[in-house]
Amino acid sequence: MLLKFAFRDFLDDRKFKNTTKKNILNYQTLLGGFINYCIEHQVVNVEDITYVHVRQYLINCQEKGDKASTINTKLLRIRAFLNYMVECEVIKNNPAKKIKMQKTDVKIDVFTDEQIRQMLNFFRRIKQREKTYVAYRDYIIIVLILGTGIRRGEIINLQWSDVDFVNKSISVKGTHA
Tens digit of each residue's pLDDT (9 = 90 or more) over 88-116: 999 999 999 999 998 877 777 888 889 98
How does residue 177 score in pLDDT terms, banded at 50, 70 and 90?
very low
In the chain, what are the domains? 3-87 (1.10.150), 113-170 (no CATH)
Cα separation, 117 vs 123, whole angstroms = 10
Burial (0-12, 13-18, 19+ Cβ within 10 Å), 3: buried
pTM more than 0.95:
no
Residues 96 and 54: beta-carbon distance below 8 Å: yes
Whether 131 has a pLDDT exceeding 80, the answer reads yes
Helix (H, G, I), strand (E, B) or coil at 155: helix
Q: What integer pLDDT is reported at residue 174 of this predicted model?
A: 64
Residues β-bridged to residue 170: 163
